Structure 1
Amino acid sequence: MKHLVPLLLLLLLFLAGTARHADAQQSTPAESAYAPTQATRLELPLELYSSDVNVQPIAQDSSVVVMVKQDGPGLRHDSFALQKYDYRLQPLWNVALPVPHEYELQQICAEGTTVYSLFQSDHTQHRLWVATVDGFGRQLRTYEFDTKLTREIYDIKALAGNLFVTVLVDNHLTILLLDLATGKHQFLPSVYEPLPAQLSFLADSAAQRAEFVMSQTNGYKMRLQLKQLSARGMLLRSEFVQAESERGLISAQISPAADSTAGRLLAGTYTLRDPRYSQGLFAADLSAGVAANGSRRSLRFYDFANLKHFFDFMSPGRARRLRQKSEKMRAADRVLRLRYRTLIHDLIPFEDGYVMVAEVYFPYYRHNTYGGLYNPSYMYNPYYYSGYGNSNWSRGSRGFDGYRITHALVCGFDKRGNLLWDNTFVLKDVVRYNLSETVRLCVLPDGHRLAMAYLTDDKLNYKIIDRTAPSPNDLHVNLKTSSLPTAKEKATTTSNEGLVTWYGNRFLAYGYQHVRAGHAPDREVFFLNAIGFE
């Protein structure tokens, strides 16, 4: 018995130390000062079973536009309306859209304060219908296109009043340009990539250029091709980026041309052979030019195992063993091969460079014959072409149950491609059936720190990023259903929730809720909560 008490004390100390490492540290006063505020909330009397809502933030004038679809009586009598709200979520205008009955909404986007809505025919997929509304809600214009070839639509972006639509044609990814001024359309031959492919697209409104980054492979090694197009779809420039070593470049994002005076950043992920898995990050300054042998002088590689925080999602012991194994193999001139799937976000300007976010995920199967959540067998990645994919490829008889996102890596680069710092936001119990960006990011008012956040039901999970400094991964607040501090009500269910970056240091949380009030009838609403880090 006399030996039992010391052993118990040691066990308690060990567990306490493990818990402290898992949470990184307790909240500091600086982090508490940046706790999110929820000053405004908008509720629309809409029910989940009879409506559908798309949210489009407009950063230019600090507003938000929502597309509201409501089921009408009988078949194909749905109504569509665009509604705009200001920074206080007060209504500005409401414009009804005369959508023909055969069309269904695909996506909305914005350029400046003009909002674009793209619809596709249920009967004939190659028929498209477009509606545009100016920022004042005064000018509604509609267009109809018979493209003959369009089938699946994956993405739309507006540039100089035209719509660039990423579509699938004959098992190739290509761009359909809808010229709204002339009412004509064309498929751009300069972008025609066979599946599987990976493609990222930057609509650079300041430079009036469309920038594409596409992956290409010869079956053994991968490289990237960069193409710059005018706002009317004319090819202006094309170049290749590849590594001389065994590394293959999987995917990347590019910084806007307007910021190229101090360097043009291209940043993404690389592999050591298998294009499904990332080994680490790479970065290059495109303005540094190319050597005589065609290599990039500025190309730099950063193995995940060498980053300070990449393995934070693991237990401390497992992370330590992985690092030790990597160091031993490096000493023997070998490389520890890693197998991580990553979803790369657009580059975000920060201080004198850029921030890149990479969400790490894996497909999740209910009936996993390998005994764990991770299945090392071949699984098609629908984001292998950057979101332009059919997730049914991975939904077979083994009970595909979505994508589990384990953590989000956030890195700071200067414009020359030098890695300045890295950090990690560890996510908890996040599974998405369709692969899309989960974590959102904004710059805090001091201009030197970042807030990262995501929603799970009615809970906003967030983390304050101060370069490499450790900070808690478990900070959270519940979404408020009322701005009155004395209100006794709560959300009993939250569905179709989402989070978008709005303007400045603000996010918008949205979704459907059933709210139970203390001394009033329950209500079914679609909500918008403005969340600020003041």
Structure 2
Amino acid sequence: MLVLSLLPALVCAQLAHSVRLELTTNQNIEESFDVTPLARQGVLVTVRRGDYYDTTPARFQFSKYDTDLKPLWTTEYKQDPRFEPTLSYHNDHYLYWLFREKESAAIQVSRLSLDDGLIEHFQGELISQMDMQHFKVLGNTAYVGGYYRNRPVVMTFSFFDRTNRVLPGLYTNHLEINSLEIDETRQEVHVLVHSLRRNCQFSIRSYSYEGKPLRTVTFDGSKYSLISGKLVPAGDNEMLLVGNYSTDCTPYSQGIYVTRIRPGEPGRPDAVTVHTNDIRYIEFSQLQNFFNYLKPKRQERLLARVLKKKEEGKDVKFRYRLLVHDLIPTKDGLTLLAEVYYPQYRGTSLPYSGGMMRSTDRYFEGYRYTHAFLCGFDKQGKLLWDNCLAIQNLNSPELTEMVQVSQQGDLMVLAYPQDGEIHTEVIQGSKVLKPRENYTLKTNSDNEKVLYSTHENLAAWYDHYFLACGFQKIGEKGYSGSPREVFYINKLNYSLTDLQNGPATDATPAKKRTAPNGASGRQSSRKTSGSEQ
């Protein structure tokens, strides 16, 4: 049992307000705001404006701010009326926007320099009109992934000569693109795909910068089917692949997996099959802290039931939907962060004879998050620790990454936004250094209060700083006049200096853990007048 008198060092560290930027919104036009954290380079704010009832092209305004949220430069771009914005991507030097022409294969890629705001445009055509879902840029080539006639396709588009080509080996029935990843060090492109047929094979198709096939690594899905995968370099000629898996070829996960990939010599596209013996599978019940989001008594009953079934020689399988984040590199290896969620529906019922009710329609309401869990691996893929963060009553209309991680040495601050507050927890591996705390976002004046918050987002920025953004209605205390609406960006500070040598509690077992009860990259916030985008 944790005694507060033993924790004087833990009380000092908490989330603190640093700087706030407010941008006035216009109720009469359609607006959207996108915030792109640029680490120590600052932050980029993209504002798109256009009259909701007009067909005139929208205007893009790009503004870069330093780490104190002071303006550095602003540039504007009037959108070509033929094109509509589709996808975006950014690296350390540029922000890219992919535009497409309706009912056409014509595209435009706009490249914004993050140093000085210079904008360049590259227009061309893809080989065919397609449903675009993935967009990455490597060097001076854009890679666009999606579907054409229900088959997956990835196309390249060169900024130099406006030429394009289709990456071979992907245009196949019953195949789905899981992700499109680029390796700037090796100058390679990896397309992760899985089959929708029986056995659900998962494969990594690797290509050169020019789009030539290098290798294919296939994972046998007869016993375990991989649902998703994230790649991270693990050496000069090795990569770690980490993700979630199922045993019945469904999107419901039974656990996580990790495996090492040795690509071998480039230029040999022969398929290499990785068998289940070469992969480490970890069921959710094998994680020490996965169920810590439950109330203690409920957790005890669940774990007792698991133990009883295992003693009887029966398999215990849990099925969850996971949103797996990009892998977090650490000095020891990497950290996997995933959020557990489920879609919510509301049904309508109508009476019929006999006084009974029958359900007629189901309406999708959004996504409910229950908890997030983290797993630390070494560079060989061995599981070192796991931990859990309870998420209470958090709903989102879009499936987006809510939990953010600020890594400070071997300590981590976990945080997520909800109803105008930021919820935090501090961990060190499997230990909880500081249980849940709630922080209310502050305005620029003590005489003001936040009346309403919406489209809340949070991003781990750099060092021990976070960025919180969204829309708020703000009114003066004791004044009944009309509130003002702003798009806000709050710089928040969570320094763990006082926690580095402080005591900690092990997250397991449930009785010994002080935890709350209860159940990219690029951040964006949107506001529209008229109807919701």
TM-score range, shorter chain: 0.7 to 0.9
Whether the aligned pair in 2 keeps the contact of 1:62 and 1:502 (CA below 8 Å) is no
Please tell me whether residue 493 in structure 1 is matched to residue 452 in structure 2.
yes
1:110/1:263 Cα in 2 relative to 1: closer, same or farther (>3 Å)? same
TM-score, structure 1 length as denominator?
Answer: 0.81
Describe how 1:132-171 pairs up with structure 2 within 5 A.
Answer: 132-137=111-116, 139-147=118-126, 149-171=128-150
Rounded Cα–Cα distance in structure 2 between residues aligned with 1:457 and 1:47: 23
The residue that corresponds to 2:312 in the other structure is 332
- The answer for the alignment partner of 1:184 in structure 2 is 163
Q: Distance in 2 between matches of 1:27 and 1:459?
A: 28
Q: Secondary structure at the match of 1:268?
A: strand
Cα gap change, 1:136 to 1:33, in 2 (>3 Å): same
1:97 aligns with 2:97: no
Q: Partner residue of 1:112? A: 92
Please give the per-residue CA displacement for 1:238-292, whole angstroms capped at 9, x wherever unaligned.
1113367x32222221113xx4249531111121224221111111122499xx9
Q: CA deviation at 1:327?
A: 2.3
| Structure with the largest fraction of helix | 1
2:382 is matched with which residue? 418
Mapping of residues 105-504 of structure 1, within 5 Å:
105-121=85-101, 123-124=102-103, 126-137=105-116, 139-147=118-126, 149-192=128-171, 194=173, 197=176, 199-219=178-198, 221-242=199-220, 246-256=223-233, 259-261=234-236, 264-287=239-262, 295=275, 298-367=278-347, 397-444=361-408, 447-470=409-432, 474-482=436-444, 487-504=446-463
Identity %: 27
Whole-angstrom distance in 2 between the partners of 1:453 and 1:149: 43
Task: Give the CA deviation at 1:297.
Answer: 5.4
- How many Å separate the matches in 1 of 2:255 and 2:32? 39
User: After the TM superposition, which parts of structure 1 deviate over 6 Å for at least 4 consecutive aligned residues?
Assistant: 24-27
Q: How many residues align?
A: 474
Gaps of 5+ in 2: 265-271, 350-359, 496-533
Compared CA separation, residues 262 and 506, structure 1 to 2 (3 A): farther
Q: 1:298–1:416: 8 Å Cα contact kept in structure 2? A: no
The structure with the largest strand share of the pair is 2
Kindly tell me: are residues 134 and 429 of structure 1, through their superposed partners in 2, closer, same or farther at Cα, counting changes over 3 Å? same
Larger RCO (alpha carbons 8 Å, 6+ apart): 2
Q: Distance in 2 between matches of 1:125 and 1:313?
A: 49
How far apart, CA to CA, are the structure 1 residues paired with 2:153 and 2:73? 36
Query: Aligned partners of 1:436 and 1:27: how far apart in 2?
Result: 38
The answer for the alignment partner of 1:512 in structure 2 is 471
Cα-to-partner distance string for 1:442-475 (whole Å, 9 max, x where unaligned): 202xx00111111113211121121111366631
Q: CA deviation at 1:118?
A: 1.7
Deviation at residue 95 of structure 1 after TM alignment = 1.4
Q: Deviations over 1:216-257 (max 9, x none)?
A: 3541x233211222233222221113367x32222221113x
Q: CA-to-partner distance for each residue in 1:367-426, whole Å, 9 max, x for gaps?
A: 299xxxxxxxxxxxxxxxxxxxxxxxxxx9312211111111111011211111111111
- Is there any run of 5+ residues in structure 1 with no aligned partner, and where? 1-16, 370-395
- Local SS of the residue matching 2:120: strand
| Distance change >3 Å, CA 243–CA 124, structure 1 → 2 | closer
Q: What are the Cα deviations for residues 31-68 of structure 1, in whole angstroms up to 9, with x where unaligned?
A: 54441232112111223663111222223x42211221
**TM-score of the superposition, structure 2-length normalised?**
0.81
CA deviations over 1:86-115 (Å, ceiling 9, x no partner): 111111111111311233322322122211
Alpha-carbon deviation of 1:26? 11
One-letter code aligned to 1:502? W
Structure 2 residue identity aligned to 1:532: N
User: What is the alpha-carbon distance in structure 2 between the residues aligned to residue 25 and residue 423 of structure 1?
Assistant: 22
Shift of the 83–363 alpha-carbon distance from structure 1 to 2, 3 Å rule, reads same
Contact 2:217/2:274 (CA < 8 Å) preserved in 1? Answer: no
